[in-house]
Chains A and B, each alone.
Chain A
Amino acid sequence: MQFKAMILDNAEVSPGYWRMRMTAPPEILEAQPGQFVMVRVNPSIDPLIRRPFGVFDVGLHQPAYTGAAPQPYLEILYRVVGKGTAMLSALHGTDLLDIIAPLGSGFDCGPAGEEKLIVGGGVGLAPLYLLARELVKDSPVRLFAGGRSKDDVLCITEFERLGVECYTATEDGSLGEQGFVTKVLEQRLDTTGNKGRIFACGPHGMLQAVAGIAAGRHIPCQVSLEGYMACGVGACLGCVCQGANHSSETPDYRCVCSEGPVFDVTELKWEGACHAT
């Protein structure tokens, strides 16, 4: 659906990372973890095309005035990387945004009771919070959050509040284990004897490493991908990534926006360059 959202809150949660809450129609409460939204940053032609962001959270908030009914809201978590995200970060409460949501297919949560391993790199954590909220209902959930430094590891307290056991790793050692978060993931898998199901989102290099771990240890694994998007609905064919059987002779491109953004790792090709990062 397409709707006008009013910004309720837009705050910097860590240097360069922002969390925005906005109003949404009640249908937003049915958004599946892993789905995304397309945001028109402003009504002008600069920036021209919409920007995609994962659904960080949805819920009901209680407006301040007495007697008001609870209002549905949508939250995104974004990193300022360029023009559009810089403009978003300059918006304030009561500003309006044009949103198309929810789009794409979400994560398949798997059976109840099974250990769920969530792996997020930097702002890749964005679509994983709603997922964690869903998973904790019937399964033990562990989060492996990584980044360059402690500033890139976001919203850990929110995950902890859900009852998720959180493990962190930073490349500079400023928070948690020093090194890549995949190392911590492997340690956990070593202890449990490769049990569970992996859900990952983050930089392509991290996803590639996670896919390798999952394949090597025969663990089911889904990843949420990015691609440069113009339409978000499967019409422009700009956002594609390579399917498992892709080769130059037998090309196999998948639409990230309409067939993904969540894919089972076995559906994708991992050796070559899969998509733009």
Chain B
Amino acid sequence: MQPDMSVEIAGLNLRNPVMTASGTFGYGEEFSRYVDLEAIGAFVTKGLSLKPRAGNPTPRIVETPGGMLNAIGLQNVGVEAFIQKKVPFLRTVNTPAIANFFGSTPDEYAELAGRLDAIPEVAALEVNISCPNVKQGGIVFGTDPGCAASVVTACRAATTKPLIVKLSPNVTDIVEMAQACEEAGADALSVINTLTGMAIDLERRRPVLANVTGGLSGPAIKPVALRMVWQVARAVTVPVIGIGGIMSATDALEFLLAGATAVQVGTASFVNPGAAQEIAEGMQQWLAEHGVATVRSLIGALEG
């Protein structure tokens, strides 16, 4: 008997707990030659805004030990082009597509949530709250519980689809943020987005990234991500999606033990385009080898 790999997130049934993370997998099509999209649980598309966004000047990325910094600046095609040019591909794949999105005011978030709610090919919504609120002096929504809750409340009213809120790790107390989002109506929480970091070119005495700071991702952030998933999973009742530095099936299974119901694979797809698929297969193999019948039995099963 093959172990049962299926999990459920807010009514969304996934064939296995492995998804690809927003911004690291394009709109799905880019990687379709290298990975069997029907061998993974779901894929999350690049963060969308109402209007197309150009993003930051270059350099936008730089490798750092065990990770990379990115300051893409949320470049994306905008929701209209997404519907025209990207959604037709989603229709051809028998795997749930989750649309990640962001705005600069709660109203903008709500409007986008409404637009995405109307797209049948979009199985669920993932709200990125790691963006500045232009109405409140640029404070990042995801760093203030009140601000975060206002965004979630606005989106909740605009969609009946599963609403996943993606938390920023750049906060003093991630549990407080998680609870605020849960109370405001989040169906699930994605933990974590990138950690703000910086790289300096000594000889030029300049920051490496044109944007000065960027988001750190990759294996370097895994211990932080694991800790945050563990903290959040204990404090909320909604499912948690673990993200951060997952490179292998072992990494993914550790996140499940820490309390995650599913995981997202980000930077690993750059290193190995087939990573998400290989991780899902590796998890199943591990379960089989250890006589574990269902992957669900590992969720939060950390001992001690």
Chain A residues within 8 Å of B, Cβ to Cβ: 1-2, 40, 45-50, 98, 100, 227-228, 230-231, 233-241, 251-253, 258, 273, 275-276
Distance, CA A236 to CA B271, complexed state (A):
12
Quick check: A228 and B30 within 8 Å, CB to CB? no
Residues of chain B contacted by A231 (CB below 8 angstroms): 24, 30, 269-270, 273
Contact A228 B59 (CB under 8 A): yes
Extra contacts, 15 of them, besides A227-B58, A235-B31 (Cβ < 8 A), are A2-B273, A45-B271, A46-B65, A49-B267, A49-B270, A49-B271, A230-B267, A233-B273, A234-B30, A235-B269, A238-B60, A238-B72, A240-B75, A253-B55, A258-B30
| A253 to B57 Cα, complex, angstroms | 9
- Alpha-carbon distance between A193 and B70 when the two chains are bound, in angstroms: 47
Interface residues as binary, B55-80 with A (CB distance below 8 Å gives 1, 0 otherwise): 10111111101111010100100000
Set of chain A residues within 8 Å of B70, measured between Cβ atoms: 230, 236, 238
Greatest chain B CB density within 10 A among A1, A2, A233, A235 is at A235
Which residue from A48, A100, A228, A234 sits with its C-beta under 8 Å from B34? A100
Interface of A is mostly: loop
The verdict on B25 contacting chain A, using a C-beta distance below 8 Å, is yes
Contacts of A227 in B (CB 8 A): 58
Scoring B26, B219, B271, B272 by chain A CB atoms within 10 A of each residue's CB, the highest score goes to B271
- Of residues 1 through 60 on chain B, the ones whose CB sits less than 8 Å from some CB of chain A are 23-26, 30-31, 33-34, 46, 54-55, 57-60
- Residues from chain A with Cβ under 8 Å of B260 in the complex: none
Residue contacts A-B, CB under 8 angstroms, 15 given: A1-B33, A40-B272, A48-B218, A98-B272, A230-B61, A230-B70, A230-B267, A236-B72, A238-B60, A238-B70, A238-B72, A240-B75, A251-B54, A252-B54, A276-B59
A46: which B residues are within 8 A, CB to CB?
65-66
**Most B CB atoms within 10 A — which of A1, A48, A98, A240?**
A48
Q: Which residues of A contact B54 (CB under 8 A)?
A: 251-253
Bin the interface of chain B by size.
35 or more
Contacts A1-B33, A45-B219; A236 near B65 (Cβ below 8 A):
no
A228 to B31, CA, bound (A): 19
With a CB–CB cut-off of 8 A, which chain B residues contact A237?
46, 55, 60, 72, 75
Find chain A residues with CB under 8 A from B145 CB.
Answer: none
Within 8 A of A (CB), among B57-109: 57-63, 65-68, 70, 72, 75
Report whether B271 and A228 are in contact in the complex, using a CB–CB cutoff of 8 Å: no
CA distance in complex: A240, B53 (Å): 14
Report the Cα distance A100→B269, complex, angstroms. Answer: 12
Enumerate chain B interface residues (CB-CB to A < 8 A): 23-26, 30-31, 33-34, 46, 54-55, 57-63, 65-68, 70, 72, 75, 218-219, 247, 267, 269-274
CA gap between A276 and B56 in the complex, in Å: 13
Considering the chains assembled together, what is the distance between the CA atoms of A2 and B61 in angstroms? Answer: 23
Given contacts A1-B33, A50-B271, A235-B26, contact A45 B55 (CB under 8 A): no
The interface residues of chain A lying within 8 Å CB-to-CB of B63 are 47-49
Contacts of B57 in A (CB 8 A): 273
Nearest chain A CB to B265's CB is how many angstroms away?
Answer: 13
Complex Cα distance A98/B271, Å? 10
Contacting residues, chain B, for A238 (C-beta < 8 A)? 58, 60-61, 70, 72
From B31, B219, B247, B274, A233 is in contact (CB under 8 Å) with B31
Chain B residues within an 8 Å CB radius of A50: 270-271
Residues of B within 8 A of A236 (CB): 23-24, 61, 70, 72, 270
Shortest CB-to-CB span from A94 to chain B, Å, is: 22
CB contact under 8 A between A45 and B31, given known A231-B269, A235-B25, A240-B60: no
Query: Which chain A residues lie closer than 8 Å to B60 at the CB level?
Result: 228, 237-238, 240
Give CA–CA (A49, B270) in the complex, Å. 7
Instruction: Report A-chain residues with C-beta under 8 Å of the C-beta of B55.
Output: 237, 240, 251, 253
Complex Cα gap A48–B272 (Å): 10
Residues in B whose Cβ lies below 8 Å from that of A1: 33
Asked if A233 meets B26 with Cβ closer than 8 Å, knowing A49-B68, A100-B34, the reply is: yes
Residue of B nearest to A250 (CB): B54
A236 to B68 CA separation, bound complex (whole angstroms)? 12
Assembly CA distance A100 to B267 (angstroms): 16
Task: List 10 tightest A-B contacts by C-beta distance, closest first.
Answer: A251-B54, A235-B26, A238-B61, A276-B59, A235-B30, A230-B270, A231-B270, A238-B60, A233-B30, A45-B219
Alpha-carbon separation in the docked complex, A237 to B58 (Å): 10
